[in-house]
Amino acid sequence: MTRSQPWYFLPGPAPWPVIGSTALFLMAGGAAMWFNGVSSGPWTVLAGVLIMVYMMVRWFGQVIDESEGGLYSRRVDLSFRWGMSWFIFSEVMFFAAFFGALFYARVLAVPDLGDLEQKLLWPDFSASWPTAGPIAADPFTPMAAWGIPALNTLLLLSSGVTLTIAHWGLLQDRRGALNLWLLLTILLGATFLGFQMYEYGHAYSELNLKLSSGIYGSTFFMLTGFHGFHVTVGCIMLTTIWIRCLSGHFKPDHHFAFEGVAWYWHFVDVVWLLLFIFVYWI
Amino acid sequence: MSASIHDTARAGHGGGEDHAHHPSGIMRWVMTTNHKDIGTMYLCFSFAMFLVGGLMAFIIRTELFQPGLQFVAPDFFNQMTTLHGLIMVFGAIMPAFVGFANWQIPMMIGAPDMAFPRMNNWSFWLLPPAALLLVISLFVPGGGPAAGWTMYVPLATQMGPGMDFSIFAVHILGMSSIMGSINIITTILNLRAPGMTMMKLPMFCWTWLITAYLLLAVMPVLAGAVTMILTDRHFGTSFFNAAGGGDPVLYQHIFWFFGHPEVYIIAIPAFGVISQVIPAFSRKPLFGYTAMVYATASIAILSFIVWAHHMYTAGMPVTGQVYFMYATMLIAVPTGVKVFNWVATMWKGSLTFETPMLFAVGFLFMFTMGGFSGLVLSMAAVDVQVHDTYYVVAHFHYVMVAGALFSAFAGVYFWLPKWTGRMYDETLGKWHFWLSMVFFNMTFFVQHFLGLAGMPRRVPDYALQFADFNMISSIGSMGFGVSQVLLPYIVYKAVRHGAKAPQRPWDGADTLEWTHLPAPAPYHSFETPPVVK
């Protein structure tokens, strides 16, 4: 049973949400125009992105000030914990949709396309994975698991370890270790992203594997692409808390922002493991 | 900025001298972090969207008044059915219940506000841009989305730019729902007053807790589905394209994995409102509270494993049909528990029938009807006959309108005295109920017959033998639409000229907002949490 403290920090009126909504409106409307060839589309998106970055810097900045100003009680801290956990849960469900698409394609859709009924339509199609479908434009080579992807697995797993060592440093108030291991985590994440970009270039230029390479290309690039996007966001979050660590923020008993970022990083890590197994390996 | 933070922090400390400290004019509403202001905005936005969606229904029913094409082109008719569905589901019904959640949950559990007040503001202020994107889609080349609110492929992949605007609108609506859900879950789990154990939570809070989990689990899936449509449209992916090894039916699976829980996202908070109203006017506690909690949770869990009953005609192995059929019928069990418990609550109660209770009893009858027609549809063999006919339209309007909407009306009349400190006009309220009830049934009951006789949905023209029932339905819908004008008038009249409401106008209402807070509820309530015994 919970016991409520008499004091719970309630923020005053804030302009940030409506600024964020304006940004999203510009980004969404601009992207819809962009994709349909309206020349002002990209600029509208850019304006939205800039406003969004400004909003996030200011809003998060205010939250950091409040946190360092001691306005957040244990109960506020607990709210953040619940909030972050369920946010990560919603992210899991977002990836579940794309993994679901991958499993459905591999187990149901592609075998169906190769069954007897479809033989009249596409006599030469053999339903084996990976495939670009019965009307594949160009042949492609699938991405091998044991080159860069395996190395990337190692990088991300190590980054989970270094992050945990940094956390120990924070808990034991060894700030030097905290800053060092956190920096190492960021570098591992950045290296992962660098390899990932190299891999995409390799896929496009040498393997002829593209986003438009049928269902294999679709699931490969959308799953790894969204994961890469999440790693990028994770790196930005890690950098933010690294700068905060350097400025002397966080105490051994009060550092939820650090833990929230760590949870997020481990989530990204687990998603990668599933990607490595189901997209690259088997 | 930091000065104002400090002020509010002290106000939050329980000072009390700083009660309604907020910017005035429009900025009060734009920047507010107060759960009551945000709840009010949700409810007003929802009603505005209800009128916009209603206007589209008016266009639909006007065209269907007679056979033949009278007023609108078929493509525009399809845009109207699509946007009517999207706006009513995402713009009217869902925000209405989030509005109730905002107003009621902190007051019912003895919390000072929602757990994340600024994010709460953002959840609301994401809705107007999303609605704007939907409306803009009507004015771009090719017009609005016309693939139905389900946005099935390949229709959705072939349509004009309007579909892109709708896709992004759905993304933003999803963000709003996810943030709102996180807020509601955290508030209920973390901000309960001392002594308010989980099994003492008012039923409305329980239903919203469960609904918030449903939203968290399925809104991201919908976002994924529409993202796949977007990339299929513009970036050459083949998720839903058989030529590239994909499958259009995959979209239906992903959509309905969201879509079926979505039905309960709408219905379960409605159950919550009804579970507060019926005990209050029966002057008895809710019968079988524990069973109600477990029944609600069971409905929510079952909703994840029945989605393909929307797809019996899409091609499915017989074993699949049999599984989804039985799983669907299973939902009738916990739903039955709820209906019987509401009836048992009324049993031997000293009943009075003020407007909230009328809407609640109306809900009970009509929602049960909608549930029964749902059972009929759950049978694969029957569904193959009536799939995509007006029988389905009748079924889900019984659940959405006479179910969710009536329960929202019940909630408005029930809590209006607490929100405004004024009583509404009881006679006008009763008129609102009876007109809504009669015209609702006139509109939708006959659609059962139309569907059974084979009239397909989403068509602007129809065969002559359907003419009579369509005319009755159209007349009913006009009456229903006009009757709804009563609601804003009744609310306006109550606020302006209503009699002062006592703290607890309903004898049987015993949750914290009635027992501990005056009417109207102060701008900041429960800065110091009450102790619940």
Q: What CATH number is attached to the domain comprising B471?
A: 1.20.210.10
Rounded to whole angstroms, the Cα distance separating B511 from B286 reads: 12
CB < 8 Å from A in window 331-370 of B: none
Q: How confident is the model at residue B125 (pLDDT cuts 50, 70, 90)?
A: very high
Q: Residue B482's CB: how many other CB atoms inside 10 A?
A: 12
Residue from B1, B21, B32, B118 whose CB has the most chain A CBs within 10 Å, to mutate = B118
Q: Does B205 touch chain A (CB under 8 A)?
A: no
Residue from B184, B190, B230 whose CB has the most chain A CBs within 10 Å, to mutate = B190
Rounded to whole angstroms, the Cα distance separating B220 from B222 reads: 5
CA-based nearest residue to A280, from A147, A181, A189: A147
- A75-281 has which CATH code? 1.20.120.80
Rounded to whole angstroms, the Cα distance separating B512 from B202 reads: 9
Q: Would you give the end-to-end CA distance of chain B in angstroms?
A: 40
Percent of chain B exceeding pLDDT 90 equals 92
Q: How confident is the model at residue B5 (pLDDT cuts 50, 70, 90)?
A: very low
Q: What is the pLDDT of residue A5?
A: 42
Three-state DSSP at A251 gives strand
Q: What is the pLDDT of residue B13?
A: 38
Q: Does B168 touch chain A (CB under 8 A)?
A: yes
Q: How confident is the model at residue A282 (pLDDT cuts 50, 70, 90)?
A: confident
Contact list in B for residue A71 (CB cut-off 8 A) is 5, 9
Q: What is the pLDDT of residue A124?
A: 85
Q: Check whether A137 has a pLDDT greater than 60.
A: yes
3-state secondary structure B468-515: HHHHHHHHHHHHHHHHCCHHHHHHHHHHHHCCECCCCCCCCCCCHHHH
Q: What is the pLDDT of residue A7?
A: 66
CA-based nearest residue to B485, from B38, B42, B58: B58
What's the whole-number average pLDDT of chain B? 93
A159 min Cα distance to partner chain B (Å):
27
Cβ contact, residue pair B235, A211, below 8 Å: yes
Cβ contact, residue pair B126, A66, below 8 Å: no
Q: What is the pLDDT of residue B14?
A: 38
What's the whole-number average pLDDT of chain A? 94
Is B16 part of any domain? no
**B400, B326 Cβ separation under 8 angstroms:** no
**B77, B254 Cβ separation under 8 angstroms:** no
Q: How confident is the model at residue B21 (pLDDT cuts 50, 70, 90)?
A: low
**B207, B272 Cβ separation under 8 angstroms:** yes
Tokens 């008012």 label which residue?
B202
CB < 8 Å from A in window 251-290 of B: 253-254, 257
Rounded to whole angstroms, the Cα distance separating B515 from B370 reads: 35
A182 min Cα distance to partner chain B (Å):
29
Is B524 part of any domain? no
Q: Does B8 touch chain A (CB under 8 A)?
A: yes
Q: Check whether B10 has a pLDDT greater than 90.
A: no
Q: How confident is the model at residue A160 (pLDDT cuts 50, 70, 90)?
A: very high
Rounded to whole angstroms, the Cα distance separating B10 from A9 reads: 9
B471 min Cα distance to partner chain A (Å):
40
Rounded to whole angstroms, the Cα distance separating A106 from A101 reads: 9
A275 min Cα distance to partner chain B (Å):
17
Cβ contact, residue pair A21, B128, below 8 Å: yes
More confident residue, A258 or B7: A258
Contact list in A for residue B5 (CB cut-off 8 A) is 11-12, 62, 66, 69, 71
DSSP H helical segments within B64-161, as ranges?
Answer: 74-86, 94-109, 117-125, 127-137, 155-158
Bridge partners, B422 (sequence order): B500
pLDDT per residue over B304-363, tens digit each? 999 999 999 998 899 999 999 999 999 999 999 999 999 999 999 999 999 999 999 999
- Pick from A108-117, A190-199, B367-376, B487-496: least confident: A108-117
Tokens 């006679």 label which residue?
B427
Rounded to whole angstroms, the Cα distance separating A47 from B343 reads: 56
Q: How confident is the model at residue A127 (pLDDT cuts 50, 70, 90)?
A: confident
Q: Check whether B522 has a pLDDT greater than 70.
A: yes
pLDDT per residue over A222-249, tens digit each? 999 999 999 999 999 999 999 999 999 9
Is B529 part of any domain? no
Average pLDDT over residues A256-271: 97
CB-count burial class (<10 Å; 0-12, 13-18, 19+) for B299? buried
Is B423 part of any domain? yes
Q: Check whether A2 has a pLDDT greater than 50.
A: no
Q: Does B329 touch chain A (CB under 8 A)?
A: no
Rounded to whole angstroms, the Cα distance separating A84 from B525 reads: 26
Specify the domain boundaries for CATH 1.20.120.80 within chain A: 75-281
Bridge partners, B456 (sequence order): B389
Is B15 part of any domain? no
CATH number of A1-72: 1.10.287.70, 3.50.50.60, 3.30.1480.10, 1.10.150.120? 1.10.287.70
Average pLDDT over residues A53-81: 95
Cβ contact, residue pair B22, A13, below 8 Å: yes
Contact list in A for residue B14 (CB cut-off 8 A) is 6-7
Of B245, B249, B528, the CB nearest to A214: B245
Percent of chain A exceeding pLDDT 70 equals 97
Q: What is the pLDDT of residue A39?
A: 95
Rounded to whole angstroms, the Cα distance separating B91 from B48 reads: 9
- Pick from A57-61, B12-16, B75-79: least confident: B12-16
Contact list in A for residue B223 (CB cut-off 8 A) is 94, 97
Beta-carbon contacts of A37 under 8 Å, excluding residues fewer than 6 positions away, are: none
Specify the number of domains making up chain B.
1
Long-range contact set of residues A70-78: C-beta below 8 Å, sequence gap at least 24: A71/A9, A71/B5, A71/B9, A72/A9, A72/A254, A73/A5, A73/A7, A73/A8, A73/A9, A74/A5, A75/A4, A75/A5, A75/A7, A75/A8, A75/B190, A75/B191, A76/A8, A76/A9, A77/A254, A77/A256, A78/B190
Q: What is the pLDDT of residue B339?
A: 97
Is B522 part of any domain? no
- Pick from B16-25, B159-168, B268-277, B470-479: least confident: B16-25
Task: Locate the chain B residue with the closest alpha carbon to A88.
Answer: B216
Rounded to whole angstroms, the Cα distance separating B212 from B207 reads: 9
Residues of the domain holding B305: 2-7+26-516
A158 min Cα distance to partner chain B (Å):
29
Q: How confident is the model at residue A116 (pLDDT cuts 50, 70, 90)?
A: confident
Long-range contact set of residues B116-119: C-beta below 8 Å, sequence gap at least 24: B116/A79, B116/A83, B116/B179, B116/B182, B116/B183, B116/B186, B117/A10, B117/A11, B117/B33, B117/B34, B117/B35, B118/A11, B118/A14, B118/A16, B118/A17, B118/A59, B118/B33, B119/A17, B119/B179, B119/B182, B119/B183
Average pLDDT over residues B32-57: 96
Q: Check whether B12 has a pLDDT greater than 60.
A: no
Of B9, B23, B224, the CB nearest to A97: B224
Q: What is the pLDDT of residue A139?
A: 87
Phi, psi at A161, each rounded to 5°? -70, -50
Q: How confident is the model at residue B20 (pLDDT cuts 50, 70, 90)?
A: low
Is B198 part of any domain? yes
**B488, B47 Cβ separation under 8 angstroms:** yes
**B273, B237 Cβ separation under 8 angstroms:** no
Cβ contact, residue pair A18, B116, below 8 Å: no
Q: Does B244 touch chain A (CB under 8 A)?
A: yes
B426 is catalytic: no
